[in-house]
Homo-oligomer: A and B are copies of this chain.
Amino acid sequence: MIAEQPGGIGVFDSGIGGLTVFKALRDVLPSGERLLYLGDTARVPYGTKSAATVRRYALEGARFLAARGIKALVVACNTMSALAIEELEKTLRIPIVGVIEPGAAAANRASRSGRIGVIGTAATIGSDAYTKAIRRHRADVQVTARACPLFVPLAEEGWVDNEVARLTARAYLGALSGIDTLVLGCTHYPLLKRVIGEEIGPGVTLVDSAEATAAVVRGRLEADGLLAGAGGDAGEDHFFVTDSSERFHEVGSRFLGRTLARLELVSL
């Protein structure tokens, strides 16, 4: 094992979906900034678990990354962001950014009518975190939220553009009529963007939190004087997974368009 340099930014997800956030971060952060990605692939999905269990797993993962000297933590998983951010902030003494708040802000910017839909896992929707975050920006907004538990397994099965995906989207999204903006409140959902867009209709803007989150992270690092310079090379990004790394390597490489050189199997 190569010795770690201290520093770097932790990106923590329940599995592979957080690579959308990783990619968006890589696009806006300087090359001198190193990322440490942790995917808890052994215990994924978090979205069907209870709040107490999600919080326990979030703390275990965050501590794992903190022990590697990260200077900031990005919680790339909507479920964890919805349920565990406060707990993490109490425990870790570094800046922590989740995906809910940036996604809520982006939805408010996108919506003209103030009628916003949110879809996510059962745990995310059950927490009401998006509704509360959106209302903090704009009190008169009307938020309709819907859990879509089958979207994650559909995306993982690669059934993103067939009749099953279409009928599933129709069943879930039927309740969201009248909105002009829809938050894709789960990192897997952008894979189903096409079917979701077609079923919800052309007048609705789809909001994916990844880019909004990356912008917030960059701003926060700058404000705190933590951002590395544009020059310099902090070394290769490091990926940690808790279940067999083969599938992660294959899907992740395809996802990021390059090989994941430093990929390591770890226990939390």
Contact = CB atoms under 8 A, between A and B. Distances in A.
B167 A163 contact: yes
Q: Which of A52, A149, A168, A247 counts the most B-chain CB atoms under 10 A from its CB?
A: A168
Nearest to A49: B243
Nearest to A41: B49
B150 A159 contact: yes
A93 to B, nearest CB: 27
Contact of A53 (B53, B149, B244): B244
Contacts of A51: 244
A243 B44 CA distance: 14
Interface string A50-74: 1111000000000000000000000
Interface in A149-169: 149-150, 152-154, 156-157, 159, 162-164, 167-168
A247 B52 CA distance: 14
A242 B53 CA distance: 9
Contacts of A171: 162, 164
Given A50-B244, A243-B49, A153 B149 contact: yes
Contacts of A246: 50
A246 B51 CA distance: 12
Contact of A150 (B43, B157, B243): B157
A56 B43 CA distance: 12
